[in-house]
Amino acid sequence: MAIISLLATIGYFEIFVAIFCFFVLAFQGRSSFIWNWPFLGMFPSLVFHIHRIHERSVEVLSRTRGTFLLKGLWFTNMDILGTVDPANVQYIMSANFTNFPKGRELRKIFDVLGDGIFSSDMDLWKNQRKLARALITHQRFHKCLTKISLDKVKNGLIPILELIAKEDRIVDLQDVFKRFTFDTTCKLLTGFESCCLSLEFPEVPFLKAMDDAKYVVSIRYLLPESIWKLQKWLGVGPEMQLRKASDVLDRVIGEYILMKREELSRVEKCKENEEGFDLLTPYIINDGERTSGLKFDKFLRDTFLNFMFAGHDTVSSGLTWFIWLVSTHPEVEKNIREELRAIIPPEEAEKWRLFTADELKNVIYLHAALCESLRLYPPVAFQHKTPLEPDILPSGHHVHPNMRVMIPLYAMGRMESIWGKDASEFKPHRWISDRGTINYEPSYKFFSFNAGPRTCLGKEAAFTQMKVVVATIIHNYQIEMVKGHVVYPNVSVMLYMKHGFKVRVKRKWA
């Protein structure tokens, strides 16, 4: 009982930190060398640097030609081959794609996502991707996306920025962007308003539950399965946190699905509504006929949650890091403003205005700046693969089924061997060719939208939404980070600012 009580009051992560940091501090200190301890492997070094895992991955991979084998605890199958070598990435994601699925281990760690498109493999993944592609590439989807985004900027984001500017208040812009993307994604998924982004800043249990879930699965990834499964069985520590988060997610998603079913029952099933579009309706109307035998309610739940992670987290993370980078690089901000002025009538250049997706379709510098921001701060922190059969990567490294293969995107964007000596600098011009057009980099080098058969279906949708938001903000407002505020990446599967993004907002025009 004493052990159970200890696990309940002190998370296992903290216990491991206390034990292994002792070894590291005693024998390794801050040495750049990574010790491979008997039984412990390189786990002590991992724990010691966990608070700066992204920067540490840059240091290690820079010294090891882009590929490094991290030896885990003995007898736990936790060896991790980290690689940012573009040749390896192309081989894993495209050339030998079938031998590198997400794997059962990842599905267990990310069980909160269920059988959704992000953690599924093989036929289950193929069927879901086929359904998703048909919807996301539909003309009505893009029409609805641009309308929802512009409406939410006008009626949700702008009133908040105006109030903050008027009252000279400090606001966490990361929280604002999270609310914005939750509202737009929820509207696009269900057709219903969630009213998360409002002047009252209401508590949103669903958002907190998503953040809690991402935190716990990040911890799971670092520890042997037996340890986190024990805590799950006991119902204590972070696993209790995840259980509560899952309950919230299930309840809220269930309410939206019920509302949509009730709405559809009041109208003709096959009647087309040209004024609106949502992703949930086609799935429900199909009545589960193409769900590969899954229980339909669970299929809807998993589909909803996976789309929410895709549309909400990635865009809000991208917006946060982009606005911070631009606000701390005056020359880039100046260039974006000049480009925006060039695409609007001269008489509107010094006036407050919104920007539509059509107006921003062909902007070059803004698009380049967004690519540069996503290179340095990719929303998804890493990609995980598990070999089905033993294999040899182009770099000569051997992999096998009892090994994890990880591609750390944060480190990949900072490799001098890939991007040059100025890899760590924010330079949008690296994306602009001599002809003044966008210089498109191969996906196995610019990996923010994945590569190969799993390339992100929502890439264009993400750029469309981000452009509408950032163009309106940069043209109309001056964002000033609060003096003394520390910007640092969190430790999670999604790359956010650990302490939020505290800013003041100044109007540019009356």
Residues with Cβ within 8 Å of residue 222, at least 6 apart in sequence: 13, 46, 47, 50
Intra-chain end-to-end CA distance of the chain, in Å: 66
220 — phi, psi (to 5°)? -55, -40
Strands 502-507 and 477-481: antiparallel
In the block, tokens 């993307």 appear at 181
Beta-strand (E) ranges in 368-422? 382-385, 391-392, 398-399, 404-408
For residue 227, list its beta bridge partners: none
Rounded Cα distance between 136 and 134, Å, is 6
CB atoms under 10 Å from CB of 55, counted, come to 15
Reduced 3-state DSSP string for 422-445: CCCCCCHHHHECCCCCECCCCCCC
Residue 456, annotated as binding a ligand: yes
Query: Which two tokens mark 120?
Result: 């599924």
Cα separation of 456 and 362, whole Å?
Answer: 21
281 touches 264 (CB < 8 A): yes
Pair 13, 223: CB distance under 8 Å: yes
Distance, CA of 392 to CA of 412 (rounded, Å): 21
Q: Quickly list DSSP for 4-35.
A: HHHHHHS-HHHHHHHHHHHHHHHHTTT-SS--
* Residues 432, 423: Cα–Cα separation, whole Å: 16
Look up residue 6 and give its amino acid: L
**Residue 164 — φ and ψ, nearest 5°?**
-60, -40
Distance CA 487, CA 281 (A): 40
Residues 6 or more apart from 10 whose CB is under 8 A from it? 237
What residues are designated binding site for heme? 456
What residues are designated binding site? 456
